[in-house]
Structure 1
Amino acid sequence: MADAAAKMAATLAFAQKIIDSGSLTIRVPYVDMAACVIFVWDYILTFELEFEHIWKAKWNVIKVVYLVQRYLPFIDSCYLGMYRQLAYHIPLKECRILPFASGLTSIVGISLAESFRVYAVWARNKYIAMGLIIVGMVLTGMAGMSIYADSLKFFDLSTVGLNRPGCFVIAAGGGNSIVLIWTALMAWNTLTMVLMLIPGYRVYRTGIKSELWSVLFKDVLSILNIIFATNPRPALRVVITVLERTLHTVLASRVTLHMREQVTRGREKTAATEVELQTTRINFYHPSKQADNSTVQPLSSVLVV
């Protein structure tokens, strides 16, 4: 009996060492942490633009949508995601709720971010934007994440004396649920990419060279990064999920900020041109009513606008 207990203790100690070394688990927390660092760093870099072009602007639907999609990653990726990965002694009930909560808010953020970009290039077509938001949330959000969250099975390692942070998943993605979710997400992202390429092709056909459109599509076509997320094996897709989610928000936010910055620069250039023209004075003269017709006096100075 004593020998059996000793062997069990040795086995648990060995398993604990393997878990601590990361040999049995994909190092998802490291990638998730890197994703959050990238997101926060980008937020710091673009905060000046955001304050100037978003916070100072009047409140409207566009401003609300921008702020929602911009700040959701702080909740779903940097808080809920890190808590689920790094906290100790999380109850199994919370472990079952956290994937659905963080996943659903992530899908909402991605839907808003991508629809926001399509909305920008389609001349603020609200019907297309609303359609994309609804389809994205329903297909990959409420349906997909609920199926995925229900398929997760957790085990409390503390019951066998092991000390490990986060929720320990022992089973995930029953059947083809993972494949179906990623296929739906890929199809939806492909649709948004096509919708963004159509206006770009039209502008290209006209031969018009616009600095604003160049800035816009330089950021918009970055949606192609979704192809990278669909290529790896299912196990690796889980690793880059948070990274992919934060990149959607980063890129969509930069599209909006760069557009508004470019528009502001255009207005400043126009205003500078007007000021330059206004300083050009054209003097009109007419013969004086005095006897001395050789003397001419300025009649007026006209500001050319």
Structure 2
Amino acid sequence: FVQYCIQWSSIALVYYDYALTFPLEVKHIWQSRFRFSTILYICCRYALIANVIYLLAIAGLIDGCNVWYKVVGFLSVAGRASVLTIFTARTWAVWARSKPILVSLGSIALACVAMDLVNTWFLHVRAAPHV
């Protein structure tokens, strides 16, 4: 029960943030030229909320949801990969485009994404035993 309350409250907080920042998002993201950074932004901003909403929607529904569970899992991987990419790029820029920083953070990010992909590939929903 508490877990669902926390997830619902996090959705409310995210939507509140969206309501506050949507006009600026339209101005600076949606009306500008479409670039790779736009894709990263979309993945960072919307992958997590899609994941949480889906998980709340299927709570208690097990039949036939394994495929969708994996799809949402891969969307989450895309969101986390975007966050890691942006973090690495920003840190690299702050450190005067230091190659060792780029290589070390890039390697860590790739390792995280690779482990995340492997974990997501083996996701499987199991029903609770009926009492």
1:82 maps onto 2:53 in alignment: no
Query: How far has the Cα of 1:56 moved from its partner?
Result: 2.8
Structure 1 residues 64 and 120 mapped into 2: Cα distance closer, same or farther (>3 Å)? same
Query: How far has the Cα of 1:120 moved from its partner?
Result: 2.1
What is the TM-score when the length of structure 2 is the normalising length?
Answer: 0.71
What is the TM-score when the length of structure 1 is the normalising length?
Answer: 0.35
1:93 maps onto 2:64 in alignment: yes
**Distance in 2 between the 1:111 and 1:67 partners?**
12
Q: Is the 8 A contact 1:115 1:132 kept in 2?
A: no
- Larger relative contact order (CA 8 Å, sep ≥ 6): 2
Query: How far has the Cα of 1:132 moved from its partner?
Result: 5.4
Q: Is the 8 A contact 2:62 2:126 kept in 1?
A: no
Query: How far has the Cα of 1:112 moved from its partner?
Result: 0.8
Listed as ranges, the matches of 1:116-131 within 5 Å are 116-123=86-93, 131=107
**Distance in 1 between the 2:33 and 2:24 partners?**
15
- Taking every aligned residue pair, what percent have the same amino acid on both sides? 15
**Given residue 58 of structure 2, which amino acid in structure 1 is its aligned partner?**
R
Query: How far has the Cα of 1:119 moved from its partner?
Result: 0.9
Higher Cα Rg, which structure: 1
Identify unmatched segments of 5+ residues in structure 2: none
Structure 1 residues 144 and 77 mapped into 2: Cα distance closer, same or farther (>3 Å)? same
The partner residue of 1:108 within 69, 75, 78 is: 78
1:238-291 CA deviation, whole Å, 9 max, x = no partner?
A: xxxxxxxxxxxxxxxxxxxxxxxxxxxxxxxxxxxxxxxxxxxxxxxxxxxxxx
Match in the other structure for 2:127: 154
Q: Is the 8 A contact 1:32 1:77 kept in 2?
A: yes
**Distance in 1 between the 2:73 and 2:85 partners?**
18
**Distance in 1 between the 2:106 and 2:28 partners?**
24
Identify unmatched segments of 5+ residues in structure 1: 1-25, 161-305
Match in the other structure for 2:31: 56
The partner residue of 1:137 within 105, 113, 117 is: 113
1:68 maps onto 2:51 in alignment: no
